[in-house]
Amino acid sequence: MSDGKVYPVKEAAKSRALVDKDQYMAMYKESVDNPDAFWGEHGKRLDWIKPYTTVKNTTYDRNNLSIKWFEDGTLNASVNCLDRHLAERGDQTAIIFEGDDPADSRHVTYRELHQETCKFANALKSQGVKKGDIVTIYMPMLVETAVAMLACARIGAMHSVVFGGFSPEALGARIKDGGAKWVVTADQGVRGGRPIPLKKNVDAALNNPEVSTVEKVIVVKRTGGDIQWQEDRDVWFHDIMADASVDCPPEEMSAEDPLFMLYTSGSTGTPKGVLHTTGGYMVYASMTHEYVFDYQQGDIYWCTADFGWITGHSYILYGPLANGAITLLFEGVPNYPDSSRIGKVVDKHKVNVLYTAPTAIRALMAEGDQYMKQSSRESLRLLGTVGEPINPEAWEWYYNVVGDERCPIVDTWWQTETGGILISPLPGATDLKPGSATLPFFGVQPALVDSDGNVLDGATEGNLVILDSWPGQMRTVYGDHERFILTYFSTYPGTYFTGDGARRDEDGYYWITGRVDDVLNVSGHRMGTAEIESALVAHPLVAEAAVVGYPHDIKGQGIYVYVTLNHDADPSDELKTELVQWVRKEIGPVASPDLIQWAPGLPKTRSGKIMRRILRKIAANEHDSLGDTSTLADPSVVEDLIEYRENA
Ligand code: WTA
């Protein structure tokens, strides 16, 4: 499978890139042989208030786990993103804002972004926010969202951005876990021409008596639409900005002080607050942004992610701005007003680097080439993808149609937990194979292990682990360090376990095969099966539920739900529709089940554990390869399920 087509490094990419193949190999070797010297040198890419004297202090021993980088250095992330650029490029664009409406766009310079950030930082202080506090940000894709994140960084508060597509229940659970006293939101968002009721969702989240910590809700006016107002709690962003000073000295942060937390789904339990700290994260985000996208001054760079996900944090905001880049911020969606939008935005702003997700590529591909052909896209130099495995057909279409066979594609594999890209081609150094994330970034030591944890050599397939720490790695699960150790460092002791499976070919290239745990990847969005199951069983008519992924043409994975109803419930189509609505309300539209199947019983072992392997096979219509079912408590349920499959 690995011997598909190879796309050798392009001359144009090589002649401008920071590193070619030989330099990549030499630097990689140095980075793993001598991490202290390597990162000691590259850590200098940031401006430090007090320079570090130690670099790497890490151990993956689970009894003694410790991950510290640059620990005696001090710095401020917002200074690295803003202040240090002012002298040289204060009047250069930092952010190009492209609104949902194609007629709505504007440029924000580094100086303007600095001023707005300082003002909002002072405004936050006036609302009582201090170093170490948590501020929840539930926002559309606006310049004000970037300002809010940077303002938190400036005063040493942690931001916790919650994706605007999550429901009030999901938002409330995330506020409650961290205990935030402040929420920053907008009256409404706008996507695809439709309003999103963000403030209304916040009101609903805070109506739950269990979500009791919030004292102030700061509201950005985006649409001017009708909203409810609670005098003692709600404040307008523009009101507190009006009299805020532009002078806000940055907080001096230790390298290991938290920068932000961001919730992500795991295979069990509620979403985890992934905590990233300041020094290592900023070094790693900015360095990967520069090398992977071969970012050079003046390039126009566009990552289509949302601030609600890690890609938005590392590769719209922190990485690019630390590098003094021009970063495009898109409020809309790829198919509004129609599917020519991405290409048209590329032409309008002369975008050089486009970084998006396989699900978006597949959706545009399904619309046909004519939409893409409505733009010239001649400014493009490099394409990137992230979030899920890209199938070779989608890769080829991205390469041939979007990039006109001119632009290399960097398929970047990483995770919320990793802070930045771990496995990816470098455009001037790496020959490409469609569907492979290729080779590790500097300092990253991937390995494949079998189910007993034995490290496998050569061309093989196994569970993907990382053998040693890199600066951008998460430091803990907020409020639950034990869970951090248990989730990532206990499955294969002495390594960081990614939860992904991968194959390695004879050239040492990695091919990510997807999650090996109970995490789904739906349109590049991570979701725990356990979360969706617990939402379902909260419905009064549901006795039991099991959720698995199944192959889906556009989304990569779809959500397949097996539901056992209470005996008096009527298994009707109306009830299926109601359950879909129920899950949307409990979690959000991203978690909408694609298919629901009534299940008279679920396949369980004698000890009561649901055998998901069998459910996955039935959902994928692979009835002939169910494997061993003899350990089931009641093997006959499988036949029933196959029969019911027809009606899903
Ligand atoms: C998957 C997103 C294949 C993988 C940055 C990982 C990928 C999960 C790729 C993390 C890729 C991400 N090829 N699979 N290039 N990139 N994944 O935390 O399963 O939202 O574990 O971070 O997405 O998703 P997360």
Query: Which contiguous run of DSSP H or E holds residue 476?
Result: strand 476-477
413 is in an annotated binding site: yes
User: DSSP H helical segments within 127-270, as ranges?
Assistant: 143-155, 168-178, 198-207, 237-242
* DSSP element (H, E) containing 530: helix 529-537
Q: What are the pLDDT digits (tens) for 254-281?
A: 999 999 999 999 888 889 999 999 999 9
- Going by the DSSP 8-state scheme, the letter that residue 625 receives in this structure is G
Write down the residue that tokens 């630097």 correspond to. Answer: 27
Residue type, 25: M
Contact 459, 2 (CB under 8 A): yes
ipTM: 1.00
* Span from the CA of 309 to the centroid of ligand 1 (angstroms): 11
Residue nearest to atom 5 of ligand 1 (CA): 415
Task: Report the nearest atom of ligand 1 relative to the CA of 309.
Answer: 20
**Atom of ligand 1 at shortest range from CA of 385:** 15
How many whole angstroms from 72 Cα to the centroid of ligand 1? 32
* Ligand 1 atom showing the smallest separation from residue 512 Cα: 3
With the CA atoms of 11, 17, 23 and 24 taken in that order, what torsion angle do they form, in degrees rounded to the nearest 10? -100
Question: Tokens 């594609």 map to which residue?
Answer: 409
Residue 5, amino acid: K
Q: How far is the centre of ligand 1, averaged over its atoms, from the C-alpha of 123 (Å)?
A: 36
Residue nearest to atom 3 of ligand 1 (CA): 389
Task: Tell me what percent of the chain is helix, strand and coil, each rounded to the nearest 5.
Answer: 35, 25, 40
Report the residue among 386, 503, 523 best suited for mutation to probe ligand 1: largest number of ligand atoms under 8 A from its CB.
Answer: 386
Whether 232 has a binding-site annotation, put simply, is no
Cα distances (angstroms) measured from residue 25 to each of 293, 345, 502: 18, 36, 22
- DSSP string computed for 599-624: -SS--BBTTS-B-HHHHHHHHTT-GG
289 marked as part of a ligand binding site: no
Residues whose beta carbon lies within 6 Å of some atom of ligand 1:
264, 309-311, 386-389, 411-416, 437, 498-500, 512, 514-515, 521, 526
Q: How far is it, in rounded angstroms, from Cα 321 to Cα 460?
A: 39
For 532-585, the three-class secondary structure string (H helix, E strand, C coil) is: HHHHHHCCCCEEEEEEEEEEECCCEEEEEEEEEECCCCCCCHHHHHHHHHHHHH
Residue 264 CB burial class (10 angstroms; 0-12, 13-18, ≥19): buried
The pLDDT, as a whole number, for residue 607 is 83
Q: Which of 44, 123, 56 is nearest to 80 (CA)?
A: 44
Q: Whose CA is nearest to atom 12 of ligand 1?
A: 387
613 among annotated binding-site residues: no
pLDDT, tens only, 89-142:
999 999 999 999 999 999 999 999 999 999 999 999 999 999 999 999 999 999
Residue nearest atom 10 of ligand 1, based on CA coordinates:
415
Q: Provide the token pair at 230.
A: 């609670």
pLDDT at 2: 45
15: part of which helix (H) or strand (E)? helix 11-16
Helix (H, G, I), strand (E, B) or coil at 272: strand
Which residues of the chain carry a pLDDT beneath 70? Answer: 1-3
